[in-house]
Copies of this chain bind each other. A is one copy, B any other.
Amino acid sequence: MDFKFSEEHEEFRKKVREFGKKEFTKQRIRDSDINEKYPDELRELTYKNGLVSYDDPWKVLISIEELCSIDPGLGISVTIPYFGAEVIMLFGSDHLKEKYLSRINSGKAIMGLAVTEPSGGSDVAGASTRAEKKDGHYVVNGSKMFISNGNLADFFITLVRTSSKEAKRHHGLSVLVVDTNSKGFSANKLTGKLGVRSTTTSEILFENLEVPEENLVGEEGKGFYYIMTFFNISRIFVAAQGIGVAQGAFDRAMDLVKSRGEEYSSREEVQFALAEMATRIKATRLMTYEAASHLFSYEPIPSLTSMAKQYAGETAVFVTEKALEIAGIDGIDSDLERFFRDAKILEIWEGTSEIEKLIIARNMLKGEKP
């Protein structure tokens, strides 16, 4: 057993950290949060500095972790433009890889994943956006909800229903790459989020939107499987967001405790809170890293991935709440209050905590050993 990152990865972590400390300025953080403004210039900077590189998924994980610990909103904003890329990598044709992934790899495009619908967040198989084949095109009609990068993305990995057999819910779904400059595409930015306010969340609509046949990812009818496979990857990165949020909040709470002097820091209530926070963070890290090590060597263990994701979300919420309790009234206008608002989404997106628990149990009931 070996619980250490390689020297290269440690170096990389240091580099990310330095970048974040320098570029995530107070001004940028506040401006993005208060005005719900996407930090596009920062995204470019992050890309140019090579902090999001698909050559090595460990580096992506490290970037997410470190940047989120400096500011979750900005951290997520600059690492989310590639959201969904793995679907093309794993299942897309060479044509799609070249046409779309090359733009992503050069940092020139923003993409997104359009799966969730207004009628059901967790019920992926219930998707009702329709795509009908007609003259070498798919004609897409329907809407998607809570779509990250909704008003920013150049194209979306989109889950659509290509078969009318409602009985086979899972088997009637396919994945298309939809250009947002196509006729019939529109997006309404949803404002007034609790947290991660610098990310852009939208409702997107498809109205008789035509997609060329070659934009089908993989095979027709396998969309549900592709998306589920993707979630088993993206959940690792959400867990990394959780590590970052929790660690960032913990570090700030620790500083606060120290700044209040010996009499305060020696109080057992305070020490208990710190110990409980730190223990949860440690457990989150380990579960995430183990899940990642299986995933990144192409042997994912879905129940373990879900454990990491669920526990990370819960930990981010737990730690930020505890940190604010320590802060008291002084926290009402502080970094910590932003961390608190940013944390909650981690229990909701990429599969709610409830869904993760069901995944864990069902896989284990089938004999999987996490």
User: Which of B5, B290, B303, B358 contacts A286 (CB under 8 A)?
Assistant: B290
Residues of B within 8 A of A283 (CB): 283, 286-287, 311
Asked if A1 is at the interface of the complex by the 8 Å CB criterion, the answer is yes
Asked if A34 is at the interface of the complex by the 8 Å CB criterion, the answer is no
Asked if A365 is at the interface of the complex by the 8 Å CB criterion, the answer is yes
Asked if A257 is at the interface of the complex by the 8 Å CB criterion, the answer is yes
Within 8 A of B (CB), among A251-275: 254, 257-258, 265, 268, 270-272, 274-275
Bound-state Cα–Cα, A122 to B310, Å: 35
Given known A-B contacts A287-B282, A287-B286, A357-B276, A364 and B268 have beta carbons under 8 A apart: no
**CB-CB nearest in chain B for A358:** B271
Interface flags for A153-193 (1: CB within 8 Å of B; 0: not) read: 00000000000000000000000000000000000000000
Residues of B within 8 A of A311 (CB): 279, 283
Given known A-B contacts A1-B5, A283-B311, A358-B268, A370 and B278 have beta carbons under 8 A apart: yes
Asked if A307 is at the interface of the complex by the 8 Å CB criterion, the answer is yes
User: How many copies of this chain?
Assistant: 2
> Do B290 and A307 touch across chains, with their CB atoms under 8 A apart?
no
> Do A274 and B361 touch across chains, with their CB atoms under 8 A apart?
yes
User: Which of B4, B282, B289, B310 contacts A279 (CB under 8 A)?
Assistant: B310
Bound-state Cα–Cα, A279 to B356, Å: 11
Interface flags for A224-262 (1: CB within 8 Å of B; 0: not) read: 000000000000000000000000000000100110000
> Do B365 and A258 touch across chains, with their CB atoms under 8 A apart?
yes
Number of interface residues, chain A, beta carbon within 8 A: 40
> Do A293 and B2 touch across chains, with their CB atoms under 8 A apart?
yes
Given known A-B contacts A274-B360, A279-B307, A307-B278, A3 and B290 have beta carbons under 8 A apart: yes
Asked if A85 is at the interface of the complex by the 8 Å CB criterion, the answer is no
Residues of B within 8 A of A271 (CB): 357-358, 360-362, 365
Asked if A68 is at the interface of the complex by the 8 Å CB criterion, the answer is no
Bound-state Cα–Cα, A362 to B279, Å: 13
**CB-CB nearest in chain B for A356:** B275
Residues of B within 8 A of A1 (CB): 2-5, 289-290, 293
Bound-state Cα–Cα, A274 to B310, Å: 14
Given known A-B contacts A286-B283, A286-B287, A278 and B2 have beta carbons under 8 A apart: no
Bound-state Cα–Cα, A278 to B303, Å: 10
Residues of B within 8 A of A365 (CB): 254, 257-258, 265, 271, 274
Within 8 A of B (CB), among A1-18: 1-5
Within 8 A of B (CB), among A309-338: 310-311
Additional A-B contacts beyond A1-B4, A254-B364 (19; CB < 8 A): A1-B289, A257-B365, A265-B365, A268-B354, A271-B360, A272-B354, A272-B357, A272-B361, A274-B360, A274-B361, A274-B365, A275-B358, A276-B357, A278-B307, A278-B364, A279-B287, A283-B283, A286-B286, A286-B290
- For this complex, 27 residue pairs linking A to B, each with C-beta atoms less than 8 Å apart, are A1-B2, A1-B5, A1-B290, A3-B290, A257-B365, A265-B365, A268-B358, A270-B361, A271-B357, A271-B358, A272-B354, A274-B360, A274-B361, A275-B307, A275-B357, A275-B358, A275-B360, A275-B364, A278-B303, A278-B360, A279-B287, A279-B310, A279-B311, A279-B360, A283-B287, A283-B311, A286-B287
Chain A residues in contact with chain B, CB under 8 A?
1-5, 254, 257-258, 265, 268, 270-272, 274-276, 278-279, 282-283, 286-287, 289-290, 293, 303-304, 307, 310-311, 354, 356-358, 360-362, 364-365, 370
